[in-house]
Amino acid sequence: MTKRNIYVLLICLSLLNACANKHMLNSKNGVKQDETINTTQQDKMQQDNVIVLIKFYDSYTTLTLDDQKKTYTDTNEALIGNKSDTFQRIKLAMMLSLPSSRVRDINKAQILLQNILQENNLNSTEYALVNLLYEYTLDSTKQMQKNRDEAKKLETAQTKYDNLQQKYDALEQKLNDLKNIEKTMNERDVKPANKP
């Protein structure tokens, strides 16, 4: 993801959150003002979490190999203390799925993201981000499989080419041998004809 894509994603997530907030406010006309404020503040905090995650992505891609591994280890340790920490789990999934990550493991990321989505305890902006990452991992897995299939086809084609090249070389050698035999026979036929 480029910075431009991150900003577009951030804007989309903000718009999604704004629409969700507007819908919630319009549907709660009979609800007390305090409850609406608490809901709005909670949504704002959750939206801020997504912004922090996107900023984390941006900063993580620029880290050195050692710093990426340290961040990965720190996140794993945080999850050992609290396995249900969604924020840390999303960070871990990002580290495992991003192409610039040195600890990339698409299969682990896909399983982790699928589990997060199945728990169904995400707000709309978090859901959008996690779903986007999950779709990315699915596409990445499909592309990796396609690349493996293409590599196998290429290897098979190379093997066929090598076999054909060997057959061609053998036939060319036989042709050269036959030409040499013919030349030798012609030279023998010419020598007796020249003798008086």
Residue 105 lies in a domain: yes
Residue 20 lies in a domain: yes
pLDDT by residue (tens digit) across 166-192?
A: 999 999 999 999 889 888 888 887 766
pLDDT by residue (tens digit) across 52-67?
A: 888 888 888 888 889 9
Residue 196: DSSP 8-state: -
Residue numbers of the domain that contains 17:
3-148
And the tokens for 114? 């699928």
Structural domains counted in the chain: 1
- pLDDT score at 41: 60
Q: Calculate mean pLDDT across residues 110-120.
A: 89
The model's pTM is 0.59
The CA-atom distances, in angstroms, between 103 and each of 1, 29, 55, 85, 100 are: 17, 49, 19, 20, 9
Residue 155 lies in a domain: no
Residue 177 lies in a domain: no
The sign of the torsion formed by the CA atoms of 165, 167, 170, 173 equals negative
The alpha helices in 28-123, defined as continuous H runs, are: 33-60, 65-81, 86-97, 106-119
- pLDDT score at 6: 67
Residue 189 lies in a domain: no
- pLDDT score at 163: 92
Residue 45 lies in a domain: yes
Q: In the structure, what pLDDT confidence band is assigned to residue 144 with cuts at 50, 70 and 90?
A: confident
Residue 188 lies in a domain: no
**d(C-alpha 136, C-alpha 97), whole Å:** 8
And the tokens for 71? 């961040």
Q: In the structure, what pLDDT confidence band is assigned to residue 84 with cuts at 50, 70 and 90?
A: confident
Residue 18 lies in a domain: yes
